[in-house]
């Protein structure tokens, strides 16, 4: 029963992470000119805004593909957790210090206020951590089962 719940949570988390990373990634790539211009408005990011404007959407699309396949799942979850944690810290910083600037986000997410954005990101950050921790637990369990079988 516990295993079943854990499996379902993990499946839902993977589904939602693939959904959100694919959507925001292709939205940013599609509106790249505007995304790059908005990134260049952020004081801390301005010097590397052009580089980031390509790196972020490509990383998001790759992350969703990595999460899709079992062979690259760990890499995808690590990358997704890192991205979501970084985005959450960034949004919190914007909310605290620079909320007058426009959001450089993909698709309909750009319509959210900074506060709503923080809640949205926090939820997905927790989700990615849950999926990552669950993946490690399953991995450890598999390894210990295999070791028992061998011995």
CB 104 within 8 A of CB 35: yes
Among 16, 45, 112, 130, binds other proteins (CB under 8 A): 16
Q: Does 15 bind other proteins (CB under 8 A)?
A: yes
Q: Does 22 bind other proteins (CB under 8 A)?
A: yes
Among 7, 19, 44, 144, binds other proteins (CB under 8 A): 19
Name the H helices within the chain: 2-30, 32-39, 49-68, 73-97, 114-150
* Residues of this chain, 29-68, that bind other proteins according to CB under 8 A: 30-31, 34, 37, 41, 43, 64, 67-68
CB 16 within 8 A of CB 127: yes
Q: Does 149 bind other proteins (CB under 8 A)?
A: no
Q: How far is the CB of 150 from other proteins (least distance, A)?
A: 26
Distance CA 66, CA 9 (A): 18
Among 4, 100, 147, 151, binds other proteins (CB under 8 A): 100
CB count within 10 Å of CB 52 equals 19
What lies within 8 Å, CB to CB, of 104 at 6+ separation is 35, 38, 39, 41, 42, 110
Q: Which residues bind other proteins (CB under 8 A)?
A: 11, 14-16, 18-20, 22-23, 26-27, 30-31, 34, 37, 41, 43, 64, 67-70, 98, 100-102, 107-108
């Amino acid at each position: 029963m516990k295993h079943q719940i854990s499996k379902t949570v993990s499946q839902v988390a993977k589904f939602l992470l693939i959904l959100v990373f694919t959507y925001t990634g292709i939205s940013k790539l599609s509106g790249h000119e505007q995304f790059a211009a908005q990134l260049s408005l952020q004081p801390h990011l301005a010097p590397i805004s052009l580089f980031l404007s390509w790196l972020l959407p490509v990383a998001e699309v790759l992350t969703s593909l990595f999460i899709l396949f079992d062979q690259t799942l760990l890499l995808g979850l690590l990358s997704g957790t890192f991205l979501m944690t970084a985005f959450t810290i960034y949004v919190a910083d914007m909310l605290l210090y620079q909320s007058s600037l426009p959001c450089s986000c993909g698709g309909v997410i750009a319509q959210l206020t900074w506060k709503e954005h923080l809640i949205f990101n926090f939820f997905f950050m927790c989700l990615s951590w849950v999926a990552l921790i669950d993946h490690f637990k399953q991995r450890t369990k598999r390894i210990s089962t295999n070791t028992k079988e061998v011995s």
